[in-house]
Amino acid sequence: MEQKLQPGARLPEDAIGETFGTSRTIAREALGRLAVEGLVELKPNKGAYVANPSLEEALDTFMVRRGLECTVTGLLAGKLKPGEINALNSFIEKEHSVSGVDDRESIRLAGEFHLLLARMTGNQLLIRYVTEVVSRCSLILAMYGRPHSADCGVDEHRQIVQALVDGDASRANELMDHHLASVAGRAMLEARQERDIRDLLAPYAARIKGL
């Protein structure tokens, strides 16, 4: 979600296990799950690598995401409970507070906003698909996106929520589709500097060990 791992980067089981203080077997199982979600590519006799989608695959992924998330807005329009509305508005304020201040947190919250909407539908299959496609889009933006392009517009999120509160499904769908089309439209090829995976994963391992 935070676009720390470069597409095509090798994911050695021993380094991952060492960083998180677990076995290679557990690391292998985790990589297998990510492979099912399309985030990791398992190459016979070579190991695991961060998936490296083509531009055509990237565009196809965003097309599917636009369809899924318009389904989400269609289900939620006019049906949000007061507590859900408050939760969404509070989340947007949190996004606004880090916008332009903390790029990493902005990227994470941008994706989480869309997951929050999906969870409010209560449709478990839809939640699963949206979660998977949002993760794939984060990977795609890490490869093709301009700097900060994953930082979805806070104002666009605010407009989407208002349309949902107003019960205007057509407007909500239009805003969501335009919003995601804009994110996808900022794509461009850009080389990213590769870093050691231990350095990249260390903060996450420390966070988990501190729980």
- Mark whether 156 and 172 lie in a shared domain: yes
The answer to whether position 3 is within a domain reads no
Q: Which domain holds residue 145?
A: 55-185
Tell me the average pLDDT across 6-10.
85
The answer to whether position 1 is within a domain reads no
Q: Of the ranges 4-13, 83-92, 149-158, 170-179, which one carries the lowest mean pLDDT score?
A: 149-158
The answer to whether position 85 is within a domain reads yes
Domain count, the chain: 2
Does the pLDDT of residue 68 top 70, yes or no?
A: yes
208 versus 147: the higher-pLDDT residue is 208
Does the pLDDT of residue 32 top 90, yes or no?
A: yes
The answer to whether position 17 is within a domain reads yes
The answer to whether position 104 is within a domain reads yes
Of the pLDDT bands very low, low, confident and very high (cuts 50, 70, 90), residue 140 is confident
Does the pLDDT of residue 193 top 60, yes or no?
A: no
DSSP of 149-184: TTS--HHHHHHHHHHHHTT-HHHHHHHHHHHHHHHH
- Mark whether 204 and 163 lie in a shared domain: no
- Mark whether 159 and 105 lie in a shared domain: yes
DSSP of 64-81: HHHHHHHHHHHHHTTT--
- Mark whether 32 and 69 lie in a shared domain: no
pTM of the model: 0.73
What tens digit of pLDDT does each residue of 19-29 get? 999 999 999 99
C-alpha span between 86 and 104 (Å, rounded): 25
